[in-house]
Amino acid sequence: MKDLLLIGIVSVLGAGALFGVFKNMKPGFGPQNIRAIGIVLVATFAAMLGVKDPGALTAAMGILGAIAGYLFGVKDPTRTPKAGSPSVNG
């Protein structure tokens, strides 16, 4: 019963954070908006999994970490590197 209450509290906090993201973002679904929504969702789900079963947290956190890594690593296709800036390819 206590776990269910904690999951409910985490869900409400996550929904509030998601509402705040939707309220403050610009119209449309650009890369930055998708990234912000994804990060809030990943953080909420990770917190819910941590409350539900701390013993089975490792695998779930690995999957959620991979999703978060993808979201943080997504590049904005409209941005181009400036001349003279360091390049990854050398």
pLDDT in tens, 39-90: 888 888 888 887 887 776 777 778 778 877 877 776 666 666 666 666 555 5
Look at residue 32 in the predicted model and tell me its pLDDT: 79
> Average pLDDT for residues 4-28, to the nearest whole number?
89
> Is there a domain that residue 37 lies in?
yes
> Is there a domain that residue 88 lies in?
no
Instruction: Give CA separation, 61 vs 44, 47, 50, 83, in Å.
Output: 12, 10, 9, 39
Alpha carbons 21 and 3: distance in angstroms, whole number: 27
Helix ranges, the chain (H): 2-24, 31-52, 57-73
Look at residue 19 in the predicted model and tell me its pLDDT: 93
> Is there a domain that residue 79 lies in?
no
Instruction: Please state whether the predicted TM-score (pTM) of the whole model is above 0.75.
Output: no
> Is there a domain that residue 68 lies in?
yes
For the chain, the domain total comes to 1
pLDDT of residue 34 exceeding 90:
no
Q: What residue numbers bound the domain in which 10 lies?
A: 2-73
Burial class (CB in 10 A: 0-12, 13-18, 19+), 10: buried
pLDDT of residue 5 exceeding 80:
yes
Look at residue 27 in the predicted model and tell me its pLDDT: 82
> Is there a domain that residue 84 lies in?
no
